[in-house]
Structure 1
Amino acid sequence: MFSGVRAGLVSADVLRKEQQELRKHEKSNKHLAEESRHSETVFRDKSGRRRDLAQEQLEQKQKAEAEAERGEQARYIDDQDLDQMLREQEREGDPMADFIKRRKAKENKEKEKPRYKGPTPPLNRFNIWPGHRWDGVDRSNGFEQQRFARIANKKAVQEMAYKWSVEDM
């Protein structure tokens, strides 16, 4: 079997011995499992030597920076970087410069959630203003309003009763 014990009809003595051997084997391998649980993964190259990933990433970054610094040797008419750079340049006396500035400012501004621009809405229990999540329409049957009115009325009556009771003191 896969577990290392015999299959079929086995006597109690043989079974006990096999169980003891299995326990002994598990105990001897337990410390290895603990060690491997907290160890870091080792990456190796084709020849079997350890790879230093941090060093490799640093080299790749330096190589990419050097390549970006070098740039292309020749510029062509359909070069997108050149085209973008020329489009972004501001020229003196450009009649569309003001329009482009406003459009860029509008694009760069963070997208805002739509805000409610209307009369003050009725308060709701969460104090949420109408906007993109709620249109401000009260669709309740009035139960909450009545309940809060009753609670406020009860509190006012209790306060009046208390003041009346301590008035003579």
Structure 2
Amino acid sequence: MPNPDLQSYIASRYLSGPKADAILARSGGDGKPKRKKKRPAPEAASNGLVFKDDSDAWPNAATTSDGEDEAQVVADSASGSSGFKKVGTASTPTTLTSEVAPPTDTGAGGEVEFKAGLRTKEEMRAARLAREERRRTAPSPPPAPASVEEGGEEEETVYRDSSGRRIDIHAAEREAALHEAEQRRKAAERKTWSQGLAQQKAAKDAASQLASVRDQTVARRVTDAEYNRHFKDQLHADDPALAFLTKKRTQGPAKPAYKGPWPPNRFNIPPGYRWDGVDRSNGFEKLLVERKHALAAQEQQARAWGQSDM
């Protein structure tokens, strides 16, 4: 359904004739533009406030621009009454006073910091020196706290558990480091459980040797007795004097050992030095070694038989 207001507006602005008259008669308008009623100027209230209509600002724009140099008029609200008044009573006349500009701060000593107009060199120098003196004597503002981006100290994060109690993160880190060190010590100790006395002694000797080498220098000299003794104790198979030279014994007490052949066993353990050469076992070690050698010989023969035609 067409809008009646729109039809009446179109008929009054753009149509003519009986059709336009019928549309205007149906909508109740006569088609003539109505003149806007001029609102009366509101009077000043008893409290000193003046209400000004926004529509009056346009025609008075020229007049306001011409009177910029005039003093501003302000209503004195001290004489007004703050209580309620009956309707129809005469309001108290408002006292108008001219606004006085507050004195501007011209710096220390009442001197004007910037002066307009032409000035001589001496005046400009004196003004510059006065400004520098005021900057030096003026109290400096307190420094603002530096943020994290500017290099300030970051606030410490507070950690809490499920019950809300505060957790000391540094103590927790120290406890975790101690627990980790204890775990590493136990793991290193478990590795030595499967070692015998010989392996432990060899590890201790290697550690002591490394400790002694750590304090030595890289250079070796002729006067190094330990270095010379190490190479003198070495036995070489191609040495022609090895047949008639007595074997050098290790320094210190030596454990006595059996001298002579003994029947082999799976662990290659030699008999005691007091053994008389009589095998008093049940023969299991002998049978085990014979069976092992027989299987090795059979495998070697089978491999040789398979490669004979190549």
**Above 0.5 in TM-score?**
no
TM-score when scaled to structure 2? Answer: 0.19
> Larger Rg: 1 or 2?
2
Which protein has the bigger helix share?
1
TM-score when scaled to structure 1? Answer: 0.31
